[in-house]
Structure 1
């Protein structure tokens, strides 16, 4: 596999639109990024030990809110689903907090806002993001709608056709998710490098081999499971976007692992998610440093949440 810059990749397919926003990404972009998906088994039911102070009435309200937000996955209820996930991930005594949106940097100065919410460990280290598919749907719809200055029936029909063409039939392999994973990896590298300005500089390979980018994806095609997408993002991968005219030092695959996590029992969803994301069953065992974002690139793929939990379960049984 030949290592090419983004601009070189675009020139290899001159009849295709490659340099477009993520809402217009297609299977072609996954191929150009050498992206591969793999599915993992559901993790064992290991939970983080969190003290509960909620009353029975509060638990009932949380359950009702969850049912209303996730019932039938109404297309206009995605903000409610984002609110439920925010409460689930950040409710005390969780060490996570929500901070801002996702931004995909292309070049040092150009950035694109993506759907999705970022969650930080102790307000310092980004460890996971959440993305609902209907938020992606609205981004695509809004982007195409903004191109219409006034009503024109043939143009509207062409817009509907284009919307259908760029909307994947298999939501779990939506190219937009890949853009979100890369964008979250860029954020982690920026935090690791201490970059706080509006511009994005190249990632320093001496700081780490890779960071582990994780996205929680809620999919309307599956009312029983949410999914955690995880991938190692190397400095070379980040610099491919920050320096789009420069060839990466070596070609590498973008391996994305997909781990299903059941919604039920909802009462333990927070404990199960935190144990998977933070790879710990007690708050005092959580790594509070930048190492919470890092993972050695020597492995072909990041350990899936399922593999991490199996290892954790084995260590606890000894």
Structure 2
């Protein structure tokens, strides 16, 4: 084989396929399922990878004069300790209310987030969705305007519901392990990125602004907070900077990705863990890991 031709062939082979092409290439795997039933094979074919960011410890106090906005009174620190304990051990609604208080934010809450495919909404994904509001009462500045929260103890129940409606698809728990790299983490981050991109495009449309194809305004860090109280004592923080090119694969699944740059057509998910205990310093660890996502 001509070396020049071999190089071109190899380049074509490495270029990612459209989602429709992937569905046709793996017909026996039954890849066309509700997003909550995604498996490790979905992540592999889409180029989704997890990176371990380790355990986040309590940061040292900043040098110099303390910021008055960050000084906590004894009463506030006791409240933070109580809220951290509720967050670690509480159930569902109480858990997420405690989280919001720890963040010092006013938020808009929903119990689901939508997932788009082929230019339409195809699924409502169960989770706790928080949209941070701009308010003078905000006590903490975070680099994200929205995030999703998930209690892993509910995930198995969600999947059983979908399994009952789609009997053709085998439910194999081994396809979703290990828990820290569950495909549903990637699904929720993609849904967050889709929502953020739609909000950005709507704002430009309302303001009659043309972004001129600038990718910087379309990309952004998405954040997912996960608890798994039956297994460990950590808050799991997942973040990913998802490109518009990757989101376009879901919006127009029949079109093959074009252009260069492997990162644009896949996603890397950074996984970090924050220890709940000691509770009296959990808020410092929590806020520090959130502010360090960019």
For the criterion TM > 0.5, the same-fold answer is yes
User: Counterpart in 1 of 2:6?
Assistant: none
1:49 aligns with 2:70: yes
2:155 pairs with 1:144: no
Work out the CA distance in 1 between the residues paired with 2:192 and 2:145: 8
Aligned partner of 1:102 in structure 2 is 113
Listed as ranges, the gaps of 5+ residues in structure 1 are 70-79, 149-157, 197-202, 280-304, 309-318
Q: 1:131 aligns with which of 150, 170, 178?
A: 150
Deviations 1:253-307 (A, max 9, x none): 311111111111223333432232234xxxxxxxxxxxxxxxxxxxxxxxxx4xx
Report the alpha carbon displacement of residue 84 of structure 1 after superposing the two structures with TM: 1.4
Post-superposition CA distance 1:201-232 (Å, at most 9, x none):
xx985252621111111124642212111111
Match of 1:295 in 2: none
- The total of aligned residue pairs comes to 254
* Residue of structure 1 equivalent to 2:172: 164
Post-superposition offset of 1:186: 1.1
Asked if structure 2 preserves the Cα contact closer than 8 Å seen for 1:204 and 1:235, the reply is no
Match of residue 234, structure 2, among 197, 206, 225:
225
Instruction: Specify whether residues 99 and 260 from structure 1 end up closer, same or farther in structure 2 by C-alpha distance, changes over 3 A only.
Output: same
Change (3 A) 1:111 1:271: farther
Alignment RMSD (CA, Å): 3.3
Residue 38 of structure 1 aligns with which residue? 51
Between the aligned partners of 2:194 and 2:71, the Cα distance in structure 1 is: 31
Which structure 2 residues correspond to residues 201-212 of structure 1 after superposition, within 5 A?
Answer: 205-206=213-214, 208=216, 210-212=219-221
CA distance in 2 between partners of 1:173 and 1:55 (Å): 35
The offset of 1:171, in angstroms, is 0.9
Q: Aligned residue for 2:22?
A: 9
| Mapping 1:288-299, distance limit 5 Å | none
Q: Is the 8 A contact 1:116 1:130 kept in 2?
A: yes
Residues 1:86 and 2:97 aligned together: yes
1:191 equivalenced with 2:199 (yes/no): yes
Tell me the TM-score normalised to structure 2 length. Answer: 0.73
Q: Give the distance between the partners of 1:169 and 1:253, measured in 2 at CA.
A: 20
Match of 1:240 in 2: 249
CA–CA distance in structure 2, aligned partners of residues 15 and 134 of structure 1: 30
- Displacement of 1:58 in angstroms is 5.6
SS at match of 1:91: helix
Deviation, structure 1 residue 114? 0.9
More moved, 59-68 vs 122-131: 59-68
Q: Residues 93 and 144 of structure 1: is their aligned pair in 2 closer, same or farther, counting only changes over 3 Å?
A: closer
Cα distance in structure 2, aligned partners of 1:3 and 1:146: 32
Q: Which runs of 5+ in 2 are unaligned?
A: 1-13, 62-68, 136-143, 205-210
Alpha-carbon distance between aligned partners in 2 of 1:142 and 1:56, rounded to the nearest angstrom: 41
Taking a change above 3 Å as real, the CA distance of residues 213 and 68 of structure 1, as seen in their structure-2 partners, is closer
